[in-house]
Homo-oligomer: A and B are copies of this chain.
Amino acid sequence: MHILIIGAAGMVGRKLTSALISAGQVGGKSIDKLTLADVVAPDAPEGFAGSVDTVAADLSSPGTAEQLIAGRPDLIFHLAAIVSGEAEADFEKGYRINFDGTRYLLEAIRQAGAGEAYVPRLIFTSSIAVFGAPFPEAIGDEFFNTPLTSYGTQKAICELLLNDYSRKGFVDGIGIRLPTITVRPGKPNLAASGFFSNILREPLSGKEAVLPVSKDVRHWFASPRAAIGFLLHAAEMDSSKLGWRRTISAPGLSATVGEEIEALRRVAGDEIVALIKEVPDPTIIGIVDGWPRNFDTQRAAALGFRAESSMDEIIRIHIEDELDGKIGG
């Protein structure tokens, strides 16, 4: 089978590429071609026996989506987006990339299918930012979407399009609202949620990290490993079980910043925790205040999605997968 990953150069895209190559197959069908696209051409992955195309492509440019699906990929992962902080700061860029890009992709698939039978599976990474305060302590599977950021609005709109294009038979779409991926490897990015990872990742590498919010802040987490698991499960599952409600809130772990810090202390000790500096940032505090804290993801559980059950486990996964087992840099 031929798999297209849009947003392949990002953290999730690279881990997903590696996981697909390791598995060699999806749902029993062997992977013989990978097309890896991003705004800068992704590096060609190692250890893959099939053919690989790496493509520099901006999905928000008209015509790009048509080029990306010209090879009729059977399975498409659409991970490309600009993050919440950037979409909030640059209104036009956010709508162009996070919304128009997705619409172009759906339209290209629909129009390709008008001339021949073509209904690929499309896995779309949505976000818990589709929810906005006030909400119940744990958000259920039928709670409404009232995003308080442009990013969340763009994701919610894409979810609606994914449903409608799937219902009309143009695509076999599945949306996954990812929890905040923690511990996110690499450097800090512009996401307002970055500190949730920074306060674990930086100290674990012996560096200082800034905590811009109160320790009481509660949030919803899953490891990168769990996130890749959601995407692979979505690629293989029986999508008819979703009906026309094509996006699900993925499972995760609800924890406070204080609980993150105490887990870090248990796993790595007081000296590591001492690297976290509290520097309140009113902008970040304001954004995070409108974010979800906890979910009741019965639907995802029934559909076979699994995540971590403790922050200690999330931290240990980071130490295993990113630090070769070594703490302190």
- Interfacial residues, chain A to chain B (CB-CB below 8 A): 91, 110, 132, 142-148, 150, 153, 156-157, 160-161, 163-164, 167-168, 244-245
**Other-chain contact of A153, B147, B153, B161 (Cβ < 8 Å):** B161
Q: Is the CB of B132 within 8 A of A160?
A: no
Q: Is the CB of B144 within 8 A of A153?
A: no
Sample of 7 more A-B contacts, CB < 8 Å, known A144-B144, A146-B163, A146-B244: A132-B244, A142-B144, A145-B145, A147-B160, A147-B163, A150-B164, A157-B160
The interface residues of chain B lying within 8 Å CB-to-CB of A144 are 142-145
What would be 7 A-B contacts, judged by CB atoms less than 8 Å apart?
Answer: A142-B143, A146-B244, A147-B163, A147-B164, A153-B160, A153-B163, A157-B157
**Other-chain contact of A160, B145, B167, B168 (Cβ < 8 Å):** B145
State the oligomeric state as a number of copies.
2
Instruction: Take A143-B142, A244-B132 as given contacts and tell me if A148 and B161 are in contact as well, using a CB distance cutoff of 8 Å.
Output: no
Q: Is the CB of B146 within 8 A of A245?
A: yes
Q: Is the CB of A160 within 8 A of B156?
A: yes
Least Cβ distance of A203 to chain B in Å? Answer: 35
Those 9 A-B pairs whose CB atoms lie nearest each other, nearest first: A153-B164, A144-B144, A157-B157, A142-B144, A153-B160, A146-B245, A156-B160, A157-B160, A150-B164
Complex Cα spacing A164 to B151, Å: 10
The interface residues of chain B lying within 8 Å CB-to-CB of A156 are 160
The interface residues of chain B lying within 8 Å CB-to-CB of A110 are 91
Complex Cα spacing A126 to B157, Å: 15
Complex Cα spacing A245 to B169, Å: 32
The interface residues of chain B lying within 8 Å CB-to-CB of A132 are 244
**Other-chain contact of A157, B147, B161, B168, B245 (Cβ < 8 Å):** B161
Closest chain B residue, CB of each to CB of A170: B91
The interface residues of chain B lying within 8 Å CB-to-CB of A143 are 142, 144
Closest chain B residue, CB of each to CB of A88: B168
Complex Cα spacing A147 to B165, Å: 12
Q: Is the CB of B145 within 8 A of A167?
A: no
The interface residues of chain B lying within 8 Å CB-to-CB of A160 are 145, 147, 153, 156-157, 160
Least Cβ distance of A84 to chain B in Å? Answer: 13
Complex Cα spacing A244 to B153, Å: 12
The interface residues of chain B lying within 8 Å CB-to-CB of A167 are 148
Closest chain B residue, CB of each to CB of A155: B160
The interface residues of chain B lying within 8 Å CB-to-CB of A163 are 146-147, 153
Least Cβ distance of A68 to chain B in Å? Answer: 21
Complex Cα spacing A144 to B163, Å: 13
The interface residues of chain B lying within 8 Å CB-to-CB of A142 are 143-144
The interface residues of chain B lying within 8 Å CB-to-CB of A168 are 91, 150
Complex Cα spacing A168 to B245, Å: 29
